[in-house]
Amino acid sequence: MMRLILLGAPGSGKGTQAVFLAERIGVPSISTGEMLRAAVAAGTELGNKVRAIMATGDLVDDDTMAEVVRERLGQSDAAGGFILDGYPRTLGQADTLAAILEGKDWSLDAVVHIEVPEEELIQRALARQRADDQEDVIRQRQRVYRQQTQPLIDHYEAQGLLCLIDGHQTIDDVAQSIASALGVSR
Ligand code: AMP
């Protein structure tokens, strides 16, 4: 049973790897980006609140995200472990997560950081561009990642939780590297 965070810039393959790994270890992959996109599509109160900010590539505020994640981790399937994909994204969110976990007497097993050089990230992001993705939004997401999410790497490294993975490999090789690093058998 594992409680993991996957960290990686937009285009690092983090979402894909989260789904693979979740399947392999039998825990839910919790993607806050997907949850928010679903809320926007469904036109819920949350969706209406976050739609505009998401469209710019900026981050939804920490308080809103705290509510989303607290609620999601309270669902029964998270009790057997989980992979967080896209949360936390700021130091404030990392503190909130620590408080949520502490309240449940849970701890993190590892924080997996998938590393890919920035220029390759931009190329990948442009290649898989969705209809609603503009190049300036893609670049803004990279900027936000660098400024707000990158500090989490040092934060978790200091806690001895960080697990560095070379993301400049095929999808299968990245998956295998993550599994080996976590000691998860094939
Ligand atoms: P993602 O699919 O993880 O790249 O998320 C898509 C968008 O949802 C991001 O660009 C943010 O606007 C928003 N979002 C997702 N997760 C978070 C989070 N943890 N904190 C703030 N905003 C988020």
- What is 3-182's CATH superfamily? P-loop containing nucleotide triphosphate hydrolases (3.40.50.300)
Indicate if the pLDDT at residue 129 is higher than 80: no
pLDDT for the residue numbered 133: 66
How large is the average pLDDT for residues 76-92? 98
**Backbone φ and ψ of 122, nearest 5°:** -65, -45
Nearest protein Cα to ligand 1, atom 10: 57
Edge-to-edge strand ranges of the sheet holding 29-31? 29-31, 82-85, 3-7, 110-115, 162-166
DSSP state of 43: T
pTM of the model: 0.94
- Domain residue extents for the chain: 3-182
The residue to which tokens 């609620």 are assigned: 71
Q: Are 89 and 146 in contact (CB under 8 A)?
A: no
Q: Are 165 and 113 in contact (CB under 8 A)?
A: yes
Q: In angstroms, what is the span from residue 157 Cα to ligand 1's centroid?
A: 22
What is the tens place of the pLDDT at every residue in 42-62?
999 999 999 999 999 999 999
Question: Is 149 touching ligand 1 by the criterion CB < 6 Å?
Answer: no
User: To test ligand 1's pocket by mutation, which of 14, 29, 32, 146 has the most ligand atoms within 8 angstroms of CB?
Assistant: 32
pLDDT for the residue numbered 119: 81
Indicate if the pLDDT at residue 169 is higher than 90: yes
Nearest protein Cα to ligand 1, atom 7: 33
